[in-house]
Amino acid sequence: MLESVLLILVAVWLLVLLSQNRRNKNFPPGPRTIPFIGNLLELNLENPIVDLDRLTKRYGNVYSFSIGPRPGIVINGVQAFKEAFINKAAAFSGRPNDQYANRVVRQNDGVPGLILSDNTSAWREHRRFGLMTLRNFGLGKNSMEKRILTETQYTIKILEQSHGKPMDPYQLFHKATSNVMCQILFARRFDYEDETINFFLGFFHEINKAVNGRWGLIYDCVPLVRYLPLPFQRVFKTVQTAKEKYLKAVVENNKTRIPGQPRHVIDCYLDELDERGDDGSSFSEKQLCAFLFDLHVAGADTTANTLLFGFLYLTAYPKVQERCQEEIDKVLDGKDQASFEDRDQMPYVQAVLHEIQRVGNIAPLSVFHCATRDSELMGYSIPKGTIVIPNLHSVLSEEGQWKYPHEFNPENFLNEKGEFVKPEAFIPFSLGPRMCLGENLARMELFLIMVTLLRRFKFIWPEDAGEPDFAPSFGIVQSPKPFFMKVILREKNCG
Ligand code: HEM
Ligand SMILES: *[C@@H]1O[C@H](CO)[C@@H](O)[C@H](O)[C@H]1NC(C)=O
Ligand SMILES: *[C@@H]1O[C@H](CO)[C@@H](O)[C@H](O)[C@H]1NC(C)=O
């Protein structure tokens, strides 16, 4: 009995090895794969980035790496990024559609949404609509700028209550950026104690943990277990509840809207639906809910974690913080509020913000792509269907691209004259046709929130808190480990 089981196992093993050997000879080199789980044992899931760096040293900028049974490649360095996502964008801008994350977002309505959609007409139409709508909110009294500054006033109130005491900024920043997204999506903010906002925070955390976690990987590697009542099922329930909340917002806003006078993203979308009627487009109520879900998830966590890294570095590097404050005081002298335009007069602040994004590296592996046709990359053959893992971390710390690739140093973005310069390897939002849709909004938020808070407060690393730990907790979206900062009202702006 045992013998026959062993025999079958050996046979399966050989079959898999054979099928791999049949793989194109010119496929990129990489570590040896194991049947079913691929190369996952190469990674320490606590910090896989270190392992990926090691593999780059060994195999070069493009190497093979399988996620479970699916063949994949990892792309490193700005040169390979540009070849894949710009020069050969049409071959490398798909998304895998059978991963755990896909299953999570399809919960409830069956549509893949925007972020994880392959190159379909629904993706193209929603991407164009999303870019246009966010751009149209640039101006006017309901502008994004206004919405961000209004939310920042609530953040200030909480920080004032913490004057002189150490506080953990995690919840505060996540709530603020979630509210900015809700303001843009359906013109609502939630009180920081509100049940809904706490639901959203818990939900983002759960998704981020699940998709990267062991259970998500098991789901990807062993299709047979997908329908069993294992922990990954819980996330589906939470996603369902979230989508119900977005649907409720759609239905409520539909009652009060005036066609042609959009107040927010939902109204814009409903106008679009009215206009298109039955023209066969992909716009629908279901797609709208998936779209709201995608923007909220993509927009809130990313920006909040960047802010957290920002304040971690600014408290750990008080000289850098002071120099920012000097520049802010000078440029904003006599003004009530900062505006996004002021950034042109603040080269040092700009350099610091960019350096925070570079070292914070909050989406280290971007979002996985998929090869949509057979093609070539850096001389290797990449067949259709290959999963493509863009290692953004490798570009943001690439030797030869940065003056100081491995340390926090705003000089990375300043020339000899002290002017702000942006090296081409600065791509925290990735590049090409799939690049982040919310880049402008994110940069506006980071600038306005940072500048407004630094103008009013001084942030100090508590004396008894030990050494700051800059190592991130790994995730699709990384965050710093929890930390406390002491908040002091600045003399000048106390009144
Ligand atoms: C600091 C903040 C942010 C960072 C670092 C960031 C980074 C990224 C990255 C690396 C990608 C993947 C690009 C690719 O697949 O090649 C992405 C995609 C995306 N981001 Fe962001 N993001 C941020 C904020 C935002 C915000 C505020 C929004 C909301 C409006 C947003 C919406 C999206 C969407 C919709 C996609 C999917 C685009 C597509 O698949 O076509 N992001 N982002
Ligand atoms: C998406 O697919 C269309 C139609 O097949 C193609 O023309 C276009 O180049 C593709 N775009 C990207 C970014 O892959
Ligand atoms: C909005 O309300 C109108 C009129 O009551 C209705 O016909 C339409 O289906 C609603 N749309 C959505 C997306 O709920």
For the Cβ of 250 lying below 6 angstroms from any atom of ligand 3, the answer is yes
Q: For residue 473, give Cα distances in angstroms to 167, 227, 372, 389, 469.
A: 20, 30, 32, 19, 11
Q: Per-domain residue ranges for the chain?
A: 2-489
**CA 435 to ligand 1 centroid distance, Å:** 7
Nearest CA to ligand 3 atom 8: 254
**Which pLDDT belongs to residue 21?**
47
**Which pLDDT belongs to residue 13?**
61
Residue from 126, 130, 128, 122 nearest 282 by CA = 122
In SS3 terms, the chain reads as: CHHHHHHHHHHHHHHHHHHHHCCCCCCCCCCCCECCCECHHHCCCCCHHHHHHHHHHHHCCEEECCECCECEEEECCHHHHHHHHHHCHHHHCECCCCCHHHHHHHCCCCCCCCCCCCCCHHHHHHHHHHHHHHHHCCCCCCCHHHHHHHHHHHHHHHHHHCECCEECCHHHHHHHHHHHHHHHHHCCCCCCCCHHHHHHHHHHHHHHHHHHCHHHHHHHHCHHHCCCCCCHHHHHHHHHHHHHHHHHHHHHHHHHCCCCCCCCHHHHHHHHHHHHCCCCCCCCHHHHHHHHHHHHHHHHHHHHHHHHHHHHHHHHCHHHHHHHHHHHHHHHCCCCCCCHHHHHHCHHHHHHHHHHHHHHCCCCCCCCEECCCCEEECCEEECCCCEEEECHHHHHCCECCECCCCCCCHHHHECCCCCECCCCCCCCCCCCCCCCCCHHHHHHHHHHHHHHHHHHEEEECCHHHCCCCCCEECCCCCEECCCCEEEEECHHHCC
For the Cβ of 119 lying below 6 angstroms from any atom of ligand 2, the answer is yes
**CA 119 to ligand 2 centroid distance, Å:** 6
| pTM for this model (two decimals) | 0.94
Give the atom of ligand 1 at the shortest distance from the alpha carbon of 392: 10
For the Cβ of 90 lying below 6 angstroms from any atom of ligand 2, the answer is yes
**In whole angstroms, how large is the CA radius of gyration of the chain?**
24
For the Cβ of 259 lying below 6 angstroms from any atom of ligand 3, the answer is no
Nearest CA to ligand 1 atom 27: 299
Give the atom of ligand 1 at the shortest distance from the alpha carbon of 435: 13
For the Cβ of 285 lying below 6 angstroms from any atom of ligand 3, the answer is yes
**Which pLDDT belongs to residue 107?**
76
**Which pLDDT belongs to residue 3?**
66
Residue from 177, 302, 305, 447 whose mutation best tests the ligand 1 pocket (most atoms within 8 A of CB): 302
CATH of region 2-489: 1.10.630.10
Residue pLDDT tens, the chain, 495 long: 666 655 565 556 655 555 554 467 899 999 998 887 888 888 887 788 999 999 999 999 999 999 888 899 999 999 999 999 999 999 999 999 888 888 888 877 778 889 999 999 999 999 999 999 998 876 665 689 999 999 999 999 999 999 998 999 999 999 999 999 999 999 999 999 999 999 999 999 888 887 777 777 778 777 778 888 887 788 888 899 999 999 999 999 999 999 999 999 999 999 999 988 778 889 999 999 999 999 999 999 999 999 999 999 999 999 999 999 999 999 999 999 999 999 999 999 999 999 999 999 999 999 999 999 999 999 999 999 999 999 999 999 999 999 999 999 999 999 999 999 999 999 999 999 999 999 999 999 999 999 999 999 999 999 999 999 999 988 889 999 999 999 999 976 544
d(CA 197, CA 173): 12
**Which pLDDT belongs to residue 445?**
97
Residue from 251, 254, 268, 278 whose mutation best tests the ligand 3 pocket (most atoms within 8 A of CB): 254
**CA 254 to ligand 3 centroid distance, Å:** 6
**CA 296 to ligand 3 centroid distance, Å:** 23
**CA 243 to ligand 3 centroid distance, Å:** 18
**Which pLDDT belongs to residue 89?**
97
Residue from 93, 119, 123 whose mutation best tests the ligand 2 pocket (most atoms within 8 A of CB): 119
Q: Which ligand is nearest to the CA of 246?
A: 3
Cβ count near 314 (within 10 Å) = 24
CB 228 within 8 A of CB 241: no
Residue from 190, 180, 159, 166 nearest 453 by CA = 159
Nearest CA to ligand 3 atom 5: 255
Strands 72-75 and 387-390, bridge-based pairing: parallel
